[in-house]
Structure formats: C-alpha cells, structure tokens
Amino acid sequence: MRQLKLAVLISGSGTNLQALIDACANPDYPAKISLVISNKENASGLGRAKEVGIQTLVIRHTDFNKRDEFDKSLTDALESAKVELICLAGFMRILGPVFVNHWHDRLVNIHPSLLPAFKGLHTHKRALEAGVRIAGCTVHYVRTEVDVGPIVAQAAVPIMPDDTEHRLAERVLQQEHQLYPFAVELIARGQARVDGARVQITGTEPSGIAALISPQVTKAE
C-alpha cells in the first residue's frame, strides 16, 4: 500500500503529533511521517519523534532577518524530504503567502474551534463568554488568511454548565487527537478533495466517524 509522506510542524509538546504517530503505527494507515520540524529547539514534541525514529529538524525563526527567508528554509527542507502533505500541529508561526501558495492544497492545520467561529487565539475563553452550546475543532486546508480554508473535518464538543476554559480545552483536545488522524486518512486515501472553497468527501469513510460526529460527553479529570 502506498503511504502519503507527511511532515509535521510543531512548536511545543506535540500531542497532536503523537496522535499522528500513533495512527501511522498501524500498517493499514495510508500515510507515514517522514519529517518533524520545530522552530524551537526545546520543543518537547521533538522527543516524541526521535523516540520512534522519525527524522527531526530545528529551523529557528530567530536565525532569519525576514519571514520569507525562514519560510524558504522550511520549503527547502520539506522538498528535500519529498513531503507530500504538511500538517501544522501547534506550530506557533504565521507562514507567509509565498510559502502557503507554494504548498497550496498540501498544507493542513487543526484549530480548536468550529470554524468559521472563533478564529485566532483564546478560542475556549471566547466560546464560553459568547455562551455557545457547542464547541469543537476543525481540520482545514491553509490559506493566506489565518484560520481560513476549505474544511476537511470537524468534531463537536458540547459545553457543560460548569465548564471552565481549562476543562473545555482538555475535552476539545481529546477530540483533536481523534480528528487529525481521521482527516489525514481521508486525504491520503483520496477521499477528501478540494473543490473551490469546499472539500468534497467521497467513498466509504474510515471507521470512527460516528464517534467524531457524536463524541462522548465526559468531564476532564
């Protein structure tokens, strides 16, 4: 079985990276991680990749005078590894338009809200302040505008009456760990295709979709 070559870009602990690593450990999963890049040498997620023998690379944004120079260094490394799909997983740098356009429809991100609601930062705090009843997370293709792009998959997380920002964030993160491998599987199998501003899903969906549509309501411990 052909496996899509992935790169994962991180800046921190890499829990979504770990979810992808775990998915790729299944021999039937249609993708594999070829490279993990961090802009911070102390990102603990690098250890997760090294532990299972995945190539890692640190490209510090502070080593470059211009964002385009940093982005070009990223592209050079990604192309050298023959990467086919880039997964942003807590990568805390805004990528420039040259980079984003170069990797058009080959660059995805996971965001902790049900886009287009609550773009940007502090999503859980804003959701609670707005009084919405449903939160969640979104995997989407990246475009030059932040948190905008065709949506691949979403997972809903009901907001509980006693939720705090921390409790909600933990439950959303649990769903992120299911959603990202699911969305990447759709892409790798050719079942998710960009059509204008939307993603069309075709064929038989991978197992687990019911859990993503109706996630179990649990309180974070």
Report cis status (omega within 30 of 0) of the bond before 27: no
**Which helix H or strand E contains 29, and what residues bound it?**
none
- The residue with tokens 């880039």 is 86
Active site residue 111: yes
Give the SS3 label for residue 108. strand
* Distance from C-alpha of 94 to C-alpha of 37, rounded to nearest angstrom: 15
User: Position 69: which residue type?
Assistant: E
Catalytic residue among 102, 104, 111, 124: 111
In order of 17, 81, 83, 201, the CA distances from 89 in angstroms are: 6, 18, 16, 23
Nearest by Cα to 147 from 120, 125, 171, 169 = 120
**Which helix H or strand E contains 78, and what residues bound it?**
helix 67-80
Q: Active-site positions?
A: 111
